[in-house]
Amino acid sequence: MRSTGTLTLAALLTVASAASAQMPGGPPSVGVVRVEQTAITETSEFIGRVQAIERVALTARVTAFLDQRLFKEGTEVNQGDLLYRLERGPFEAAVQQQEAAVADTSARLANANIQLARAQSLMSGPAGQRSNVDDAIANQRSLAAQVQSAQAQLHVAQINLAYTEIHAPVAGEISRTSITVGNVVSPGSGPLASIVSQDPMYVLFPVASRTLTELQKRYADKGGTNAVVVKLRLPDGSMYDREGKIDYVEPTVSATTDTILMRARIANPARAKSESGQPVERRLVDGAFVNVLVEGVQPVMALGIPRKAVLSDQQGDYVYVVGADKKVEQRRIQLGQSTPTTAVVAGGLKDGEMVVSDGIQRVRPGIEVSPGPASPPPASPAPAAQTAGKS
């Protein structure tokens, strides 16, 4: 029994010693950062849609059999390329018929001119009659009108013959054909195919009227829309490697959404060189949704702190500030445009104040802490001037 009591007492002493070792000794240690001016690229982010600049639906202008399709579906065509050829025989015959009609009426007009000249020459002799001259003039003018009508009908026949060849009115990617060779097509058959231009592209995005007013105010003294660039975040989360410029702002506000439509123009080059007649791969696709980032051309200076130092509750955003006496104060702040890593402080903090960034869970208002440098942020390939988005 004595040995058991001794072991129990030793075990209790061990547990007590371990517990005392775990108890903190002095104020909790926290990592702090200094509030200071940071280069921020002002950015606003919106949801937009890619739209082709040119879009053409190819339709037949005459009724005929479809003889040939001269393109590969899904490839890019050049302006002026021959895409479809319709049956030409009936239209060539119509042209020849109208050429003959022009020749016939022209010959009769030439004869009428001779008859008129003869009748006018006889007017000076005893056999001359005014009625003969009047009849010759009327016949000559009638045949001249018939020549003009025949020439117009010949021109119409030539136009219809030209319509048997359907060329690409714009350059771009052509869709699949909706009517195959051997079928009769007509103006009422609907589109044979469509061509969508590829480079450059438009990006359309609605902006709340209040936000647009803020953007205009922000860049009014910097050149307006010329002072911003447009960048895109693609559906897979990657950033598009080309920048665009705003080239159009809708003149009216939508009555249902209170938004104004803005449009940017951005390049869409081929990702790799492709062989002739093969599909061309490009990153922007007509109709795709993208995230549109409207960024200032030059960074601005603003008070910045790590985003992880900012806490939020029902009353808003706040941080813990460590004073000269090493005591913690809860401070309400107003945030401006911020990035995922940097919070831009629009109000509530002053340059040079110390804010708790690490060990926030050990802090409460009024306690004394042991401040030290906060851990550095993880390395990032982003440029030094950070990008500020909607907070």
Answer for the pair 348, 333: CB distance below 8 angstroms, yes or no: yes
- Tell me how far apart the alpha carbons of residues 95 and 159 are, in angstroms, rounded to a whole number: 9
Residue 338 has pLDDT above 70, yes or no: no
Which is more confident, 257 or 135? 257
Tokens 């791969």 correspond to what residue?
A: 281
- Tell me how far apart the alpha carbons of residues 320 and 329 are, in angstroms, rounded to a whole number: 6
Tally Cβ neighbours within 10 Å of residue 228: 24
Answer for the pair 255, 245: CB distance below 8 angstroms, yes or no: no
The top-level CATH class assigned to 45-53+201-272+282-296 is: mainly beta
- Domain spanning 28-40+300-388, CATH architecture: Beta Barrel (2.40)
- The residue-averaged pLDDT of 255-275 equals 87
Q: Where are the domains of the chain?
A: 28-40+300-388, 45-53+201-272+282-296, 60-83+168-196, 89-162
CATH of 60-83+168-196, one of 3.30.2130.10, 2.115.10.20, 2.40.50.100, 3.30.70.420: 2.40.50.100
pTM of the model: 0.65
Residue 389 has pLDDT above 60, yes or no: no
Per-residue pLDDT of 213-251, as tens digits, reads: 877 777 777 777 777 889 999 988 889 999 999 888 899
Question: For residue 215, what pLDDT is reported?
Answer: 77
Question: For residue 23, what pLDDT is reported?
Answer: 45
- Domain spanning 89-162, CATH architecture: Orthogonal Bundle (1.10)
DSSP H helical ranges for the chain: 2-22, 89-122, 130-162, 209-218
